[in-house]
Structure 1
């Protein structure tokens, strides 16, 4: 394992986040604060509690997961797309480092930025609601696994995309709608039986539900199912990344 190469890629990507601090950090935190104002104040005045948890606190895991999914995909996709766009990716690939080390550098940096952002949003939420995390270890586990998995997905999107427009296609048209419809701001038990069954086909439901369980001990689906869904996501993403480097898909000129 060439740790120096992995560290160099990782540090370069983390430094890029520091140069775009307003976009990388301040903007998501402000957006989250607005969600608290709109959903917590407006809707929270009508929905006092959900399964014994105040509505303001209930939406915290959903907000963190929303930001975590979108930021993981965006950070990783842009991180690998820009070197491909400028042509510097070929210098990286010709260096004496393995594909695994390249993935570790780019995906590790994207996941780290998303985890840091998620923790900052968690800290920001304490200014609006009282939070007591019942299962902190499981909370960190879900946070890390989800960030790594969707950073891998973003890495795949960054290689697949042949233009800046495609980088935003999946986050805007797929990830964000699935997260909003995945129980981020409500319990699926509040839906009619038919729509509950339809919602269970949304994989994001399992991520949000498991993450919420780590906070309050309540969930729409079993925690085992949530962990299995994350594991399936991770395995599929790793398989696709492995196939990309074996075939040179969108990497060979």
Structure 2
């Protein structure tokens, strides 16, 4: 394992984050504040509690997941697509660096960025609501796993995309609707029977459910099923990345 190569890739990606750190951190703070004003004040005044939790506190896990998922995909996809777009990826592929080390460097940096942003949103939430965390270690572990798994997914999108328009296609048309329909701002149990059944086909529901459990000790879906769904998604993404480098699809072709 070439630790030096991983560190160089990681530090280069983090340096890009540090150059825009004010925008990277202030943006989620402003967005979170606006969500609290719109959802917490406007809707929260009509929905006092959900599953015994104030609505303002209830939406916090959803806000964190919403931002962490989108940031993970965005950071990782751009990080690998840009060198592919300008052709510098061939220098990286010809260097004495394994595919695993390339993935660890890019995905690791994207995941760390998302974790930091998620923690900033969590800190911002405390300004507006009294937020309990029933399982803090599980919460941080789930935050880390989510950042890692969706950074891998973003890595795949970055390799798949042929231009910057395609880079935004899946996040806008697929990922964002799944997040909003995955119980970010409501409980799946609030849906009528048929629609709840349909919602269970949304993989984001399982992620939202177990992450909300780490805060309030309640879940829409059994914890074991949610964890199994997360492991399955991560395993599939890792398998796709292995296949990409094994065949050279969209990299050497």
- Per-residue Cα deviation, 1:165-203 (whole angstroms, up to 9, x for no partner): 111111111111111101110011111101000001100
Q: How many residues align?
A: 253
Matches within 5 A, 1:40-189: 40-189=40-189
Give the corresponding residue for 1:196. Answer: 196
Give the corresponding residue for 1:236. Answer: 236
Unaligned runs of 5+ in 2: none
In structure 2, what is the Cα distance between the partners aligned to 1:29 and 1:75? Answer: 18
2:219 aligned counterpart, secondary structure: coil
Deviation of 1:22 (Å): 4.4
Deviation of 1:32 (Å): 1.6
In structure 1, what is the Cα distance between the partners aligned to 2:47 and 2:249? Answer: 49
2:229 aligned counterpart, secondary structure: helix
CA separation of 1:157 and 1:219: change in aligned 2, threshold 3 A: same
In structure 2, what is the Cα distance between the partners aligned to 1:108 and 1:31? Answer: 25
In structure 2, what is the Cα distance between the partners aligned to 1:240 and 1:26? Answer: 34
- Per-residue Cα deviation, 1:112-135 (whole angstroms, up to 9, x for no partner): 000000001000000010011000
2:116 aligned counterpart, secondary structure: helix
Deviation of 1:24 (Å): 2.5
2:182 aligned counterpart, secondary structure: coil
In structure 1, what is the Cα distance between the partners aligned to 2:165 and 2:194? Answer: 36
Deviation of 1:209 (Å): 0.4
In structure 1, what is the Cα distance between the partners aligned to 2:17 and 2:26? Answer: 11
Give the corresponding residue for 2:15. Answer: 15
Give the corresponding residue for 1:39. Answer: 39
Stretches of 4+ aligned residues off by more than 4 angstroms: none
In structure 1, what is the Cα distance between the partners aligned to 2:87 and 2:73? Answer: 21
1:127 aligned counterpart, secondary structure: helix
Deviation of 1:55 (Å): 0.2
1:252 aligned counterpart, secondary structure: coil
Q: Does 1:251 align with 2:247?
A: no
